[in-house]
Structure 1
Amino acid sequence: MTKQIYFLCTGNSCRSQMAEGFAKQLLPADWTVASAGIEQHGLNPRAVQVMAEVGIDISQQQSTLIDPAYLAQCDLVVTLCGDARDRCPVTPPSVKKLHWPLPDPAQATGTEDAQLSAFRSVRDEIKQRILALK
């Protein structure tokens, strides 16, 4: 039986997109994987860049809004920021929820290298958390 997982963030531009990319590669084939946001901020180019560094192409993924019908059918919903956790639509009791309070790499400041370092750090944390779901 297929399982559904949903990664939710505020803008569906960085963390949830990276999580979707890793989950599609690392979770068993019987999982349906999607990500969405409370708002649509577009796909962050640095997220695409740091995922490509580990061999995962997320460049064709789209920033989308939460689909209440998909959400209600999920086995697992993972929020990656407090905003998504607090503003996420109500889910049925059958839906397991996890919260991964990861910093938003898009908020990183400083040099290009410093900003990319923030994206890599969050990327690596997401990968470890997804591996732990298997």
Structure 2
Amino acid sequence: MLAMKRVIFLCTGNSARSQLAEALLRHQAGHFFEVFSAGSQPHDIDPRTIAALQKFHLPVDGLQSKSIDEFAGQSFDYVITLCDKARQECAQLPQAREVIAWDYPDPRTSDNPRAFELTLQELNERIKMFVLVQSKEQKGALNPVINPLQLFKCLADETRLAVMLLLQHRGTLSVTELAQALQESQPKVSRHLAQLRGCGLVLDERCNQNVLYQVHPRLPDWSVRVLHEAAQADSQHIQQLAQRIQERSNA
């Protein structure tokens, strides 16, 4: 995996918006980012924050309200403020490489009973774009740095593992071909490919109307051997998946 980037979300109370953002980014790309949140005037997490996360089956383990002061002197790649007050006070984190301002209304002050869910959904779209941009920036890195724990963590999912072994077997494949082989929806396959890009395991390249994916050509030798051995051990299954692609192209 490429070196993990440190991200902290800030708002005033660290009870709603920043907690939602922390949970979302950790869920979407916890293999790529170390994620934190804090508040300038922290107080207990609003129960509606937890309820919104649980409604969408997002993990809430480890979430707790924290003060900006707890992170004094620490360095971050990105400090993302979620309200204007936090933006003004983020000078307390002088070692931030980049400060990004996302201004979201506080759902606690809204009369809309779905305010927390709507804020979660809006943050989800913003964070998906943030992850996509970051993975695009990282895809051209010359030498992905990955250790065994990071590799196996990234591949600890049946779909992502199958994608990697298919790419190892076929060389380059499109999202359409992968979806056909795995009999999964294209959006689901695309989400897993984004995670693999974030890990530094795959590269993508546009070819006419298609985007083709391949195993990163500069993975460390030991990780290439792991993928090769895994593909050989599961060769019958991988060939069956690849056959679905061939059948589609012959149709």
Common fold, TM-score beyond 0.5?
A: yes
Aligned length: 126
Say which SS state the counterpart of residue 73 (structure 2) adopts. Answer: helix
Higher RCO (CA < 8 A, seq sep 6+): 1
Matches within 5 A, 1:92-111: 92=95, 95-109=97-111
Q: Give the percent of matched residue pairs that are identical in Structure 1 and Structure 2.
A: 32
Q: Provide the C-alpha distance between the structure 2 equivalents of 1:59 and 1:82, rounded to a whole number of angstroms.
A: 28
CA offsets 1:20-57 (integer angstroms, 9 cap, x no match)? 00011112503100000001111110010011111113
Report the CA distance between 1:80 and its aligned residue. Answer: 0.3
Q: Provide the C-alpha distance between the structure 1 equivalents of 2:80 and 2:56, rounded to a whole number of angstroms.
A: 22
Asked whether 1:91 is paired with 2:94, we answer yes
Say which SS state the counterpart of residue 100 (structure 2) adopts. Answer: strand
Between 53-62 and 7-16, the greater mean CA deviation after superposition? 53-62
Q: Provide the C-alpha distance between the structure 2 equivalents of 1:120 and 1:30, rounded to a whole number of angstroms.
A: 25
- Correspondent of 2:34 among 32, 35, 41: 32
From the two aligned structures, give the one with the greater helix fraction. 2
Q: Provide the C-alpha distance between the structure 2 equivalents of 1:19 and 1:38, rounded to a whole number of angstroms.
A: 16
- What residue ranges of structure 1 are gaps of 5+ in the alignment? none
Q: AA paired with 2:65? A: S
Q: Provide the C-alpha distance between the structure 2 equivalents of 1:59 and 1:46, rounded to a whole number of angstroms.
A: 15
Report the CA distance between 1:69 and its aligned residue. Answer: 2.4
Report the CA distance between 1:95 and its aligned residue. Answer: 1.2
- Correspondent of 1:74 among 76, 90, 93: 76
TM-score by length of 1: 0.87
Asked whether 1:130 is paired with 2:134, we answer no
- What residue ranges of structure 2 are gaps of 5+ in the alignment? 132-251
Report the CA distance between 1:18 and its aligned residue. Answer: 0.3
Task: Report the counterpart of residue 14 of structure 1 in structure 2.
Answer: 16
Between 83-92 and 95-104, the greater mean CA deviation after superposition? 83-92
Report the CA distance between 1:119 and its aligned residue. Answer: 0.9
Q: AA paired with 2:94? A: T
Q: AA paired with 1:105? A: P
Asked whether 1:41 is paired with 2:43, we answer yes
Contact between 2:81 and 2:100, CA under 8 Å: does it hold in 1? yes
Contact between 1:5 and 1:74, CA under 8 Å: does it hold in 2? yes
RMSD: 1.4
Task: Report the counterpart of residue 62 of structure 1 in structure 2.
Answer: 64
Q: Provide the C-alpha distance between the structure 2 equivalents of 1:76 and 1:60, rounded to a whole number of angstroms.
A: 21
Q: Provide the C-alpha distance between the structure 1 equivalents of 2:33 and 2:107, rounded to a whole number of angstroms.
A: 27
Contact between 1:6 and 1:35, CA under 8 Å: does it hold in 2? yes
